[in-house]
Amino acid sequence: MKRLIIASLLMGAFGAHAQSSVTVYGIVDSSVRYTTNQNAQGQGKLEQTDGILSGSRLGFKGVEDLGGGLRANFNLEAGFNPDTGVSGQGGRLFGRQSTVGLSGDFGNVLLGRKYTVAHEMMTSYEAMFFANQAIVGYQGGNYTGLRQDNQIQYNNKFGAFSLALGHTFGEQAGSTKRGSTNGATLGYDSGPLHLGGSIQTMNGITTEYFGVANPASTQKVWSFGGTYQFDRVKYYAGYTNSNLDVADYKNKAYYVGANITLTPSLSLIGTYTYDKLNHAGDNGTRNMTAVMLDYFLSKRTDIYIEADYNKFSGAWRTLANTPGFATPMYGNDSRFGMMVGIRHTF
């Protein structure tokens, strides 16, 4: 009898294990970068830093089959700086993502810290996915909100269409609005064509807009764009409109790009953004160009060389030289950067 009980327990344990899975994954992406105009004298800087496209990370994700088509899932993702080993995202343990949720025929519901729905959609039609290097992927975070704590998200697919809704709890006494974010996206995918759009409102902005905005501001962002795969070239195009009411910053960003497969192991990626800013009655522009040659040594490891250039004028130059700006310009109106790096995924 005792043997039967033990056998039953073991079978139950193995059966539960068979219905669950946990995956450990990660990226280590490190580079050597040279950048001009890194002080008021216009001198350059040579440094070892993070990668151009991918932030380095260590992650754990899993799913459990609960029966009846219902599944539980989680994702814990820690970011780190590969040159020092120090945790990223302000030293958080799982600063990149920390979610738990349920999925089924009804869709997917997630709770925790993760990318905003606007960020996930807007990166889908920008050729470098709002690059990890802030001066290239500056729209990520400053316009999209990037990642936010205390989120609840819902997403589902309906044939060729996809829908995502997101809400970030402000968690402030006396107001459910202050500090909160509401966003929605709609996507369409058919063959080589991808189209998408998003709308998002962030109430009580503190650091999302280049670290210089008025915390009393509400930031309203909407965007649309798409991609098209034609033979060995994938084309990207998008538009972003960002408006902070109290701080009075209005941006209109137009961006195009392409990812060209030169050989099965070699690709060329290029992106260009024209950003027009209006602030306190003053106008200005930002032109950002980046190009990258990426060579895969294997499915997991690639090496790359990248170059980028930013040019600021008018109100954009003033913003770029405001104390607290994410990538300070020290009074300069342009910056050139170049980097070589290696990325390994596991």
Q: Is the pLDDT of residue 293 over 60?
A: yes
Q: Is the pLDDT of residue 3 over 60?
A: no
- For the chain, percent of residues with pLDDT exceeding 70: 94
- The pLDDT of residue 259 is 98
Residue 60 domain-assigned (yes or no): no
Residue 88 domain-assigned (yes or no): no
Domain limits at 143? Answer: 30-53+113-345
Residue 66 domain-assigned (yes or no): no
- The pLDDT of residue 215 is 77
Distance CA 83, CA 55 (A): 12
The model's pLDDT over 64-111, given as tens digits with 9 standing for 90+, comes to 999 999 999 999 999 999 999 999 999 999 999 999 999 999 999 999
List, in sequence order, every residue forming a beta bridge with 21; answer none if it has no partner. Answer: 63
Residue 190 domain-assigned (yes or no): yes
Q: For residue 68, with 0-12 CB atoms within 10 Å meaning exposed, 13-18 middle and 19 or more buried, which class applies?
A: exposed
Residue 85 domain-assigned (yes or no): no
Strand ranges for the chain from DSSP E: 20-35, 45-50, 57-67, 70-79, 97-104, 107-115, 147-158, 161-168, 181-190, 193-203, 218-230, 233-244, 249-263, 266-279, 282-296, 301-313, 334-345
Query: Is the torsion defined by CA of 87, 89, 90, 95 positive or negative?
Result: negative
Residue 43 domain-assigned (yes or no): yes
Q: What is the pTM of this model?
A: 0.91
Domains: count for the chain: 1
Is 117 in contact with 153 (CB distance < 8 Å)?
yes
Distance CA 141, CA 242 (A): 12
The model's pLDDT over 123-176, given as tens digits with 9 standing for 90+, comes to 999 999 999 999 999 999 899 999 999 999 999 999 999 999 999 999 999 999
The 3-state DSSP class for residue 141 equals helix
Q: Is the pLDDT of residue 7 over 90?
A: no
Distance CA 61, CA 31 (A): 27
List, in sequence order, every residue forming a beta bridge with 164; answer none if it has no partner. Answer: 155, 185
Residue that has been written with the tokens 């280590």 in this structure? 28
The model's pLDDT over 168-179, given as tens digits with 9 standing for 90+, comes to 999 999 999 999
Q: Is the pLDDT of residue 242 over 60?
A: yes
Q: For residue 208, with 0-12 CB atoms within 10 Å meaning exposed, 13-18 middle and 19 or more buried, which class applies?
A: buried
For 261-288, letters b (16+ CB in 10 Å) and e give eeeeeebebbbebebbbbbeeeebebeb
Residue 82 domain-assigned (yes or no): no
Question: Over the chain, what is the mean pLDDT?
Answer: 93
The model's pLDDT over 179-237, given as tens digits with 9 standing for 90+, comes to 999 999 999 999 999 999 999 999 987 768 998 767 789 999 999 999 999 999 999 99
- Kindly list the distances between the CA atom of residue 329 and the CA atoms of 252, 316, 337, in Å, as whole numbers in the listed order: 21, 11, 13
Q: Is the pLDDT of residue 318 over 90?
A: yes
Mean pLDDT of 310-314: 98
CATH number at residue 325: 2.40.160.10
- The pLDDT of residue 336 is 98
Is 257 in contact with 236 (CB distance < 8 Å)?
yes
Residue 79 domain-assigned (yes or no): no
Angle, CA of 341, 343 and 346, to the nearest 5°: 170
- The pLDDT of residue 218 is 94
